[in-house]
């Protein structure tokens, strides 16, 4: 078997792994980064468009920390959260040091932390933690791809090594310390890499259907939500995130940390989004963000629809419904309003003041693209037949809902009266919406130094973890999410490398 010796092994070349590897190389460690795919950044880290950092001032750090902990009902690990937030100010410096500038920075004044929605949108109200750094896009793509690319260059410049097409398959533990890993090259040949410390940064587990079922209760399905698995739509199909790091850590006695999928409300393809929820082919995603009537399979409302542009809340609420699905419903009058007057919510990622020929967009999806989750009917009865929504329940809901619209007060869920629009005039339109598995994250239990813990919550020497595979601890159990998680990947990458290098130096002294 081929053998390699190094100070530090990093498993995975996403934002967490690359940040850790570059930081450790800057500190003088000999680094070998093993990546199972043929390129850096995997299927996920090439996609983010912005990250978040909290100013390195005590009042900002304290307020962001308490806001986040309160958001999780103190269900998260406070030491892990504190370390992430305290080190986040280093992220912009780290990115600039790669020779990359930001497209724009949106600062959050102290009084707005915890007081309003974050600029990036889609996330909970009152959950604004810090400043938003938007990456310069690469063509029409997202700018994090450039960060990953430049980080590889930097790593090599600093003498580090990145080995593609080489998957870590197991960790080597001697006594109470990790001293290496076994990896497999594309051709099947095994490589033994020995090290003084190892950082697991291999991301989530969205592509392992068994893990999804066992640890989240969802049934994984494909882009079109085919078959009976109509419950989870993976927003990053084929990211090849199969929980390898989690399994390797558990196999040597690492504890199981919080695991879950953060939510996202999505109408499945084809014809609506590309291989990524931010690549859209038409205006359906814009419609899906609107605060119109939402019902479940029984025809019952289940949320104050003003939440419809809060992805986490919608994803969570949809997953609680029968068959884990919801329906957005509107009528011809509302459709005309979208086309002639405008939208209630405008999302900066899909900017559109007014929509263009909504009926034609629906017809194209139904008749040409064959999308099974988009509906249009002359009557409510027909719409119920098409969708399978219970007609009696739907009729009852509509009777009440239209009364709320007439009197401009939502007795049921107190929706903003400005969003109460009658559902009366055919045609009627419906979108079947699922919880999208934006990221299946967590599984590795870490402490504030990103050290991996065993089943007795004792440190496994020499073993660290960062990024999506360790992010469960940031949100509690189960982790629902709430923010763009690249801030965690970057910050934990820095922290894990700090402590791994500290350990390596001490190990050398001993």
- The footprint of ligand FAD (CB under 6 A) covers 11-17, 34-37, 41-42, 44-45, 47-51, 167-168, 201-203, 235-236, 240-241, 244, 276-277, 438-439, 467-468, 484-487, 489
Cite the beta strand spans of 136-203 per DSSP E: 161-163, 166-174, 177-185, 190-194, 197-200
Q: How far is the CB of 169 from ligand FAD (least distance, A)?
A: 7
State the chain's maximal CA–CA distance in angstroms.
Answer: 79
Q: How far is the CB of 205 from ligand FAD (least distance, A)?
A: 10
Q: How far is the CB of 330 from ligand FAD (least distance, A)?
A: 27
Q: How far is the CB of 327 from ligand FAD (least distance, A)?
A: 24
DSSP 25-65: HHTT--EEEE-SSSSTTTTTTT---EEEE--SSHHHHHHHH
**Does residue 350 sit in helix, strand or coil?**
coil
Q: Which residue's CB is nearer to ligand FAD, number 11 or number 497?
A: 11
Q: How far is the CB of 202 from ligand FAD (least distance, A)?
A: 4
The alpha-helical segments, DSSP class H, found in 328-471 are 332-340, 358-363, 380-387, 391-407
Within 8 A by CB and 6+ apart from 217, the residues are none
Q: Which residue's CB is nearer to ligand FAD, number 6 or number 202?
A: 202
Q: Which residue's CB is nearer to ligand FAD, number 119 or number 404?
A: 119
Cite the beta strand spans of 75-139 per DSSP E: 102-106, 131-135
Structure-derived torsion over alpha carbons of residues 131, 137, 142, 148, reported in degrees to the nearest 10: -90
Are β-strands 8-11 and 197-200 bridged in parallel, bridged antiparallel, or unpaired?
Answer: parallel
Q: Which residue's CB is nearer to ligand FAD, number 11 or number 22?
A: 11
Q: Which residue's CB is nearer to ligand FAD, number 51 or number 87?
A: 51
Q: How far is the CB of 192 from ligand FAD (least distance, A)?
A: 14
Q: What residue has token string 């792994």?
A: 17
Q: What residue has token string 């139904």?
A: 366
Q: Which residue's CB is nearer to ligand FAD, number 132 or number 401?
A: 132
Q: How far is the CB of 160 from ligand FAD (least distance, A)?
A: 15
What length is written for the chain?
510
Q: How far is the CB of 35 from ligand FAD (least distance, A)?
A: 5
Q: What residue has token string 């609680």?
A: 320
Q: Which residue's CB is nearer to ligand FAD, number 240 or number 300?
A: 240
Q: Which residue's CB is nearer to ligand FAD, number 262 or number 286?
A: 262
Q: Which residue's CB is nearer to ligand FAD, number 91 or number 430?
A: 91
Count of other CB atoms within 10 angstroms of residue 354: 12
Q: How far is the CB of 397 from ligand FAD (least distance, A)?
A: 33
Q: What residue has token string 């910050």?
A: 491
The DSSP element (H or E) to which 472 belongs, if any, is helix 472-475
Is residue 284 within 8 A of residue 374, CB to CB? The reply is yes
């Amino acid at each position: 078997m081929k053998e390699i010796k190094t100070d530090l092994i990093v498993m995975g070349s996403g934002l967490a792994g690359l940040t850790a590897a570059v930081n450790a190389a800057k500190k003088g460690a000999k680094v070998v980064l093993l990546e199972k795919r043929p390129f850096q950044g995997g299927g996920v880290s090439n996609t983010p468009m912005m990250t978040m950092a909290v100013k390195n001032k005590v009042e900002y750090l304290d307020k962001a920390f308490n806001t986040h902990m309160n958001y999780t009902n103190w269900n998260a690990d406070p030491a892990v959260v504190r370390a992430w937030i305290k080190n986040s100010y280093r992220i912009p410096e780290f990115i600039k040091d790669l020779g990359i500038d930001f497209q724009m920075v949106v600062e959050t004044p102290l009084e707005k932390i915890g007081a309003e929605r974050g600029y990036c949108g889609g996330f909970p109200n009152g959950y604004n933690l810090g400043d938003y750094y938007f990456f310069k896009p690469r063509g029409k793509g997202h700018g994090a791809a450039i960060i990953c690319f430049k980080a590889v260059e930097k790593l090599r410049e600093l003498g580090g090594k990145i080995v593609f097409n080489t998957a870590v398959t197991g960790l080597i533990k001697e006594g109470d310390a990790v001293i290496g890993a076994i990896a497999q090259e594309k051709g099947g040949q095994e490589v033994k890499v020995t090290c003084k410390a190892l950082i697991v940064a291999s991301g989530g587990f969205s592509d392992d259907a068994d893990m999804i079922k066992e640890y989240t209760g969802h049934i994984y399905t494909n882009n079109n939500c085919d078959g009976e698995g109509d419950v989870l739509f993976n927003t990053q199909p084929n990211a090849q995130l199969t929980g390898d790091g989690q399994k390797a850590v558990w196999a040597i006695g690492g504890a199981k940390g919080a695991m879950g999928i953060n939510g996202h409300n999505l109408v499945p393809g084809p014809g609506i989004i590309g291989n990524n929820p931010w690549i859209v082919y038409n205006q359906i995603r814009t419609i899906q963000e609107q605060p119109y009537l939402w019902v479940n399979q029984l025809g019952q409302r289940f949320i104050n629809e003003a939440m419809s542009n809060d992805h986490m809340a919608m994803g969570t609420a949809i997953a609680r419904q029968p068959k884990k699905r919801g329906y957005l419903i509107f009528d011809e009058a509302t459709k005309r309003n979208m086309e002639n007057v405008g939208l209630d919510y405008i999302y900066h990622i899909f900017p559109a003041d007014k929509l263009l020929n909504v009926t034609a967009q629906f017809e194209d999806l139904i008749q040409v693209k064959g999308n099974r989750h988009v509906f249009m009917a002359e009557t409510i009865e027909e719409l119920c037949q098409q969708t399978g929504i219970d007609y009696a329940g739907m009729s009852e809901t509509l009777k009440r809902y239209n009364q709320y619209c007439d009197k401009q007060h939502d007795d049921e869920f107190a929706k903003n009266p400005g969003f109460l629009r009658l559902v009366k005039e055919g045609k009627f339109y419906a979108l079947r919406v699922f919880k999208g598995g934006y990221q299946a994250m967590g599984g590795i239990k870490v402490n504030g130094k990103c050290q991996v813990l065993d089943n007795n919550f004792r440190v496994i020497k020499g073993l660290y973890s960062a990024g999506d595979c360790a992010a469960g601890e940031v949100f509690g159990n189960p982790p629902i999410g709430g923010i763009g998680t690249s801030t965690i990947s970057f910050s934990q990458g820095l922290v894990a490398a700090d402590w791994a290098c500290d350990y390596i130096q001490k190990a050398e002294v001993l």
